[in-house]
Amino acid sequence: MSLVTRTRTRAVDTLTLDSPANRNALSAALVADLADALTDAGRDDAVRAVVLTHTGTTFSAGADLKDPPRPETLVALLRQIVELPKPVVARVTGHVRAGGLGLLASCDIAVAATTATFAFTEVRIGVAPAVISLPLLTRADPRALSRYYLTGERFDAAEATAAGLLTTHADDVDTALTPVLDGLRKSAPDALAETKRLLTARVLEAFDRDAEHLTALSARLFSSAQAREGMTAFLERRDPAWVV
């Protein structure tokens, strides 16, 4: 059974992360299913745009600590979203943590509910937001990233919008998305693809330049003693040894 469902309304494919039991964490299985669904949507001439959304109260909790994808596999997924010849729109009605923010930053447009919350929690389990920095560092405000990367603090949708992580936030996400999706439906497919290519050129430069280094960094940190302590503490619902 796929962890990503695909539906279509007026030339817009909606890909829904459907693993609420683990808060849509990025397991190896979910990443593979999402990559397959994106491939199908990208090849389908009847698809004008893709909406990426979720079931449950969390868009994505980040990497699944029990079944994490390989760093290079996550890099490939983020790049696939950026390179997809169709605009990808994130529809977020729940919370976003860690690697989930990499998905969000890879999308061309991102709209979240006012009640959504966000956090880069990597430092609190002994790792760093390495791979997800590939789309994030070129799209978000550096000062905001400095604070939230380093502290792991939770922040709200208004702050996420101000930081460039979201396009906008609204009490009713679907109302906010209506003019966006209508605009995409009115746009010529080839023009959309070329315009997206213009907009993502700098992001892809970061992938070309930094992916190998950040993949190695991620692998090294996840295998470290501090990460083992941090992940064990997280799963045991206790503070890691370094908390003072």
61-116 per-position pLDDT tens digit: 999 998 999 999 999 999 999 999 999 999 999 999 999 999 999 999 999 999 99
* Averaged pLDDT score across all residues of the chain: 97
- Annotated active-site residue 205? The verdict is no
Give the residue among 82, 72, 80 at the shortest CA–CA distance from 202.
82
| Distance of alpha carbon 218 from alpha carbon 1, whole angstroms | 29
126-179 per-position pLDDT tens digit: 999 999 999 999 999 999 999 999 999 999 999 999 999 999 999 999 999 999
Q: What is the mean pLDDT of residues 39-49?
A: 97
Query: What pTM does this model have?
Result: 0.97
Residue-level pLDDT at 208: 98
Examine the pLDDT at 52 and tell me if it is beyond 90: yes
Active-site position among 122, 159, 194, 205: 122
* Backbone torsions φ then ψ of 140, nearest 5 degrees: -110, 160
Residue type (1 letter), 59: F
Q: Which two tokens stand for residue 178?
A: 């209506």
| Share of the chain residues as helix, strand and coil, in percent rounded to the nearest 5 | 50, 20, 30
Examine the pLDDT at 1 and tell me if it is beyond 90: no
Domains observed in the chain? 4-173 (3.90.226.10)
